């Protein structure tokens, strides 16, 4: 299934996010465009969407599968009010806000996988990419998110891990409705994060996080044979994950490695 372009999105309920809005039938990366727009002076809340990405990016420089008209590809420009704000937990806060939006759409039991995935029934529904640059003491951030909406099949390397709204809902919303709901869920969370940091959001994040307490493997996808078995122990105030190795050694901090949930 496909649908009309997101060039004009009606029904926005946000005060800032999505105002203004640029849409592209096809673009290399919404996050790259949002970052360039931010560098050129785009205001807080500026939104970039596309019907297709030719070079969509995920975490750790990976490609984000971006077929035409099938999914939501969006990025927003964010300018936190506090110049010295700890941005480490930002992707966690974003995940919480997007989850709030999915719950408003009655998506069944969306869960957060540290640090930047949203799962349904253990399969990846959405991903997040936060990229920051500093303009003097002020951060300029492009927050990108992709949500699988209409796709009912995926390439072989994704099929074992990915899902979509079409696969988890009997009557799923279209991309425009998803975008409106996600921005509405994200805006108050970003306001809280900008004003007070991650602290007021942490308890809600932990309640929704499927990673904690689980057996995991920690490593890098490029060399999965070197992954280390561990148990996800806690998430600290900086947004880092701490894991305890299976051999009973001390807990160690994880910031950028891959973390797989054990079956």
Per the prediction, the chain carries an average pLDDT of 89
CATH architecture of 215-261: Roll (2.30)
Give per-residue pLDDT as tens, 151-169.
887 877 777 889 999 999 9
DSSP string, the chain: -----SSS------SSTTSSEEEESSBS-HHHHHHHHHHTTPPTT-EEEES-BSS-B-GGG-B----TTTEEEEEEEE--S-TT---TTHHHHHHHHHHHHHHHTT-S--EEETTTEEEETTEEEEEEEEEEEEETTEEEEEEEEEEE-S-S---HHHHTTB--HHHH-SS---HHHHHHHHHHHHHHHHHHHHHH-SHHHHHHHHHHBSSTTSEEEEE-TTSGGG-EEEEEEEE-TTS-EEEEETTS---EEESSSEEEEP-
Residue 240 reports pLDDT greater than 70: yes
For residue 25, give both structure tokens.
């039938």
What pLDDT score was predicted for residue 219? 82
For 21-208, give the CATH class. Answer: alpha beta
Percent of the chain with pLDDT over 70: 90
Give per-residue pLDDT as tens, 79-129.
987 654 789 999 999 999 999 999 999 999 999 999 999 999 999 999 999
- How far is C-alpha 216 from the chain's CA centre? 20
What pLDDT score was predicted for residue 84? 46
Between 222 and 252, the more confident residue is 252
Lowest mean pLDDT among 56-70, 107-121, 174-188, 240-254: 56-70
What does the domain layout of the chain look like in residue ranges? Answer: 21-208, 215-261
What pLDDT score was predicted for residue 224? 60
- Domain 21-208 and domain 215-261 have a common topology: no
- Name the band, by pLDDT with cuts 50, 70 and 90, for residue 4: low
What pLDDT score was predicted for residue 58? 53
Lowest mean pLDDT among 82-86, 145-149, 250-254: 82-86
Residue 60 reports pLDDT greater than 70: no
Please, are residues 71 and 58 in contact by the beta-carbon 8 Å criterion?
A: no
């Amino acid at each position: 299934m496909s649908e009309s372009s997101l060039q004009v999105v009606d029904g926005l309920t946000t005060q800032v996010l999505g105002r203004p809005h640029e849409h592209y039938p096809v673009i290399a990366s919404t996050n790259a465009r949002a970052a360039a727009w931010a560098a050129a002076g785009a205001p807080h809340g500026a939104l970039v969407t596309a019907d297709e990405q030719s070079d969509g990016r995920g975490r750790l420089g990976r490609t984000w599968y971006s077929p035409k008209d099938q999914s939501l590809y969006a990025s927003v420009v964010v300018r936190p009010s506090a110049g010295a704000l700890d941005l480490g937990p930002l992707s966690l806060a974003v995940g919480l806000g997007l989850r709030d939006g999915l719950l408003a759409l009655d998506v069944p039991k969306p869960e957060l996988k540290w640090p930047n995935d949203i799962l349904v029934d253990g399969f990846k529904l959405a991903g997040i990419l936060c990229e920051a640059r500093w303009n003097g003491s002020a951060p300029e951030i492009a927050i990108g998110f992709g949500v699988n909406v209409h796709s009912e099949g995926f390439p072989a390397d994704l099929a074992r891990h990915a899902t979509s709204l079409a696969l988890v809902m009997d009557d799923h919303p279209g991309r425009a409705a998803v975008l409106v709901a996600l921005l509405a869920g994200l805006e108050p969370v970003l306001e809280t994060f900008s004003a007070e940091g991650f602290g007021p959001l942490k308890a809600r994040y932990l309640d929704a996080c499927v990673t904690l307490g689980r057996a995991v493997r920690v490593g890098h996808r490029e060399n999965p044979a070197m992954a280390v078995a561990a148990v996800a122990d806690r998430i600290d105030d900086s947004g880092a994950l701490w894991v305890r190795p299976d051999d009973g050694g001390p807990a160690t901090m994880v910031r950028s490695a891959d973390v797989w949930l054990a079956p």
